[in-house]
């Protein structure tokens, strides 16, 4: 979503021409992994409403207006089937750290495709509920790996002047995946055999194959190669990404900045998960907690309520064709992500997060208030609800959807980046699971359920108000800075003063390598003075 000033210094391709289409295209391709994430998220809400799927995995129930085919999915089973994917993604996100550090960012993504495909195969061929659930777990594990590795890969390879837009392309791919899932569900829902749900599920093999093959042609990130001591490979990788020769001065400066930032971190010792929560001059704990909580707040906006249970929700609200409404909301989600991709570099991260949360808060309270005051037969009222839901989705798609991934991809120092990102993404999936698991119990009307219905939007409205406070006090403005300059931003400013200090970094073209060299020079002078003083004594 971001696109900032043409700041020079520290970022990948800082001095490379902005017409460097090849490098940007390579990094942008990695965003295709978002299709895996979004499609799997979007397809399940329709599949669990399909006649053949309910006959195979549901329970026999009396024929009523709500259960016209005489089969129903109990709340507990619905909760398990929808939420088990998120349980898999939670563990996959945690596994993303060792995968990123040991295999590398690129090979980790390739391995993720294999795991994901195993899950898709189990779901497609499932003859019983247990196999279907296990398949969703493995598919989720693959998605969890992808959701950690791809934003990391993109952040480490993108030019800083367009890093936000490139990383937000991952969120855009997620929205496209959701849209494709809804369109394909709508096309197959009336089939009265297993193909109704096997076709939407098996299509996921195509997405995994495209990402799997494509990643073989992309370079590994220069930052990971530097961390592994592979200097020549890092120079070649950076050369491909910037379209500059390996011996170009700008490539050498970039590599030296990465080395300098890594040396500063390594001086503190080998990184562990505990190091992610240490209160150091580099504010590692604040950064880790910010990543964990921004991913949690993203889920607590309530967006996945629409994409996991939207078909059920619209059906319960009296909408005659809830599948078509789900397609419409998915279209809004796709196209409203595009202005966000432009705006994040035009206006910055903080303003969009603040205004986006405020708009979502207002819309969700209005949905809740209108929903409890009108009847199902009030067609203008029902249309108003759908319109407000669409505005809410538009606000999310252009702000919190992509920017949460941008923030977690860029705020961590190299030495702990994989671990801190895996913790942040695991937080996303932990809350995703909790919401997916709890929502049926909150909104359904079965015995023992809360039967909140549309009143659940009072909860989402309140959490969006929390998003405003969190952003104001915890998220700095990082637009237009290299990943190494963001280290300096955290060391020398607070979220409230970050906008001013960011301008100083860009205006003075500050390099981490220069700061590090000055620090060593100052330390050397102080040591010489101390030695001279001792000799004098």
Q: For 27-64, what is each residue's pLDDT tens digit?
A: 889 999 999 988 987 888 788 888 899 998 888 888 77
Short-list 220, 240, 222, CA closest to 106? 220
Q: In the chain, what is the greatest distance between 2 CA atoms, to the nearest angstrom? A: 99
Short-list 84, 89, 83, CA closest to 147? 89
Q: Are the beta carbons of 305 and 83 closer than 8 angstroms?
A: no
Give the pair of three-digit tokens for residue 395.
């606000």
Q: Which residue has the higher pLDDT, 170 or 358?
A: 358
Is 530's pLDDT higher than 80?
no
> What does the DSSP 8-state code read for residue 31?
G
Helix axes 249-266, 231-242, angle to 10 degrees: 130
The pLDDT score that the predictor gives to residue 309 is: 66
Least confident of 91-100, 202-211, 481-490: 481-490
Which H or E run includes 71? strand 71-72
The pLDDT score that the predictor gives to residue 310 is: 67
Mean pLDDT throughout 72-100? 88
Give the pair of three-digit tokens for residue 133.
């659930």
Short-list 86, 99, 147, CA closest to 418? 99
Domains defined along the chain, listed by start: 20-218+270-502 (1.20.1250.20)
Burial of 341 (0-12, 13-18, 19+ CB in 10 A): buried
The pLDDT score that the predictor gives to residue 70 is: 83
- Letter string b/e over residues 86-121, b meaning 16 or more CB atoms within 10 A of that residue's CB: bbbbbbbbbbbbebbbebbbbbbbbbbbebbbbbbb
Short-list 463, 468, 406, 453, CA closest to 431? 463
Q: Provide the pLDDT confidence category of residue 243 given band limits of 50, 70 and 90.
A: confident
Please give the mean pLDDT across all residues of the chain: 84
The pLDDT score that the predictor gives to residue 78 is: 82
The pLDDT score that the predictor gives to residue 303 is: 87
pLDDT in tens, 285-300: 999 999 999 999 999 9
Mean pLDDT throughout 237-245? 86
Q: Provide the pLDDT confidence category of residue 17 given band limits of 50, 70 and 90.
A: very low
Is 83's pLDDT higher than 60?
yes
Is 137's pLDDT higher than 80?
yes
pLDDT in tens, 328-370: 888 898 999 999 989 998 999 999 999 999 999 999 999 899 8
CA dist., res. 400 & res. 297, Å (int) = 9
Q: Provide the pLDDT confidence category of residue 415 given band limits of 50, 70 and 90.
A: confident
- Percent of the chain residues topping a pLDDT of 70: 87
CA dist., res. 186 & res. 323, Å (int) = 6
Is 189's pLDDT higher than 60?
yes
The pLDDT score that the predictor gives to residue 514 is: 65
Mean pLDDT throughout 361-385? 86
Q: Tokens 């400013």, residue?
A: 493
The pLDDT score that the predictor gives to residue 434 is: 87
CA dist., res. 74 & res. 76, Å (int) = 6
Phi, psi of 158 (to 5 degrees): -80, 145
CA dist., res. 321 & res. 189, Å (int) = 12
Phi, psi of 111 (to 5 degrees): -65, -35
Least confident of 252-256, 286-290, 311-315, 453-457: 311-315
Q: Has this prediction a pTM greater than 0.85?
A: no
Q: Are the beta carbons of 322 and 311 closer than 8 angstroms?
A: yes
Q: Which residue has the higher pLDDT, 397 or 376?
A: 397
Give the pair of three-digit tokens for residue 171.
């969120």
Residue 245, classed as helix, strand or coil, is coil
Number of Cβ within 10 Å of residue 438's Cβ equals: 14
Residues 6 or more apart in contact with residue 475 via CB below 8 angstroms:
290, 294, 349, 350, 353, 407, 495
The pLDDT score that the predictor gives to residue 382 is: 79
């Amino acid at each position: 979503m971001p696109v900032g000033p043409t700041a020079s210094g520290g970022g990948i391709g800082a001095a490379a021409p902005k017409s460097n289409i090849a490098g940007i295209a390579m990094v942008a391709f990695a965003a295709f992994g978002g299709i895996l994430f979004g499609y799997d998220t979007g397809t399940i809400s329709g599949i669990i409403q399909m006649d053949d799927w309910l006959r195979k995995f549901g329970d026999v129930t009396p024929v009523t207006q709500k259960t016209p085919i005489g089969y129903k999915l109990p709340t507990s089973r619905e909760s398990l089937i929808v939420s088990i994917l998120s349980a898999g993604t939670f563990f996959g996100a945690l596994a993303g750290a060792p995968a990123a550090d040991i295999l590398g960012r690129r090979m980790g993504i390739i391995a993720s495709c294999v795991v994901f495909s195993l899950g898709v195969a189990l779901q497609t061929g499932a003859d019983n509920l247990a196999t279907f659930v296990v398949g969703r777990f493995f598919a989720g594990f693959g998605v969890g790996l992808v959701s950690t590795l791809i934003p990391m890969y993109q952040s480490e390879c993108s030019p800083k002047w367009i890093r936000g837009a490139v990383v937000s392309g991952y969120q855009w791919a997620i929205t496209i995946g959701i849209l494709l899932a809804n369109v394909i569900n709508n096309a197959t829902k009336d089939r009265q055999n297993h193909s109704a749900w096997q076709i939407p599920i098996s299509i996921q093999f195509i997405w995994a194959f495209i990402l799997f093959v494509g990643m073989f042609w992309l370079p590994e990130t220069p930052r990971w190669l530097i961390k592994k001591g592979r200097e020549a490979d890092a120079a070649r990788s950076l050369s491909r990404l910037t379209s500059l020769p390996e011996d170009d001065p700008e490539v050498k400066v970039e590599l030296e900045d990465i080395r300098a930032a890594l040396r500063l971190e390594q001086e503190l010792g080998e990184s562990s998960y505990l190091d992610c929560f240490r209160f150091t001059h580099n504010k590692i704990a604040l950064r880790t907690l910010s990543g964990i909580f921004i991913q949690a707040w993203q889920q607590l906006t309530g967006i996945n309520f629409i994409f996991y249970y939207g078909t059920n929700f619209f059906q319960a609200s009296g909408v005659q064709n809830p599948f078509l409404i789900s397609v419409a909301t998915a279209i809004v989600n796709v196209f409203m992500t595009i202005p966000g991709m432009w705006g994040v570099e035009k206006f910055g991260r903080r303003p969009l997060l603040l205004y986006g949360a405020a708009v979502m808060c207002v819309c969700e309270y209005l949905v809740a208030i209108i929903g409890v005051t009108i009847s199902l037969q009030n067609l203008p009222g029902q249309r108003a609800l759908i319109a407000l839901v669409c505005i809410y989705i538009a606000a999310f798609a252009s702000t919190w959807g992509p920017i949460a991934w941008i923030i977690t991809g860029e705020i961590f120092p190299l030495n702990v980046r994989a671990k801190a990102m895996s913790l942040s993404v695991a937080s996303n999936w932990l809350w995703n699971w909790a919401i997916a698991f709890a929502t049926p119990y909150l909104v359904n009307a079965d015995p023992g359920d809360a039967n909140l219905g549309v009143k659940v939007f009072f909860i989402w409205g309140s959490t969006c108000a929390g998003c405003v406070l969190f952003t104001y006090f915890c998220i700095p403005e990082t637009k237009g800075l290299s990943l190494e300059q963001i280290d300096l931003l955290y060391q020398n400013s607070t979220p409230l003063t970050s906008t001013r200090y960011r301008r100083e970094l860009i205006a003075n073209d500050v390099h981490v390598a220069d700061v590090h060299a000055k620090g060593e020079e100052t330390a050397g002078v102080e040591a010489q003075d101390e030695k001279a003083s001792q000799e004098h004594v």
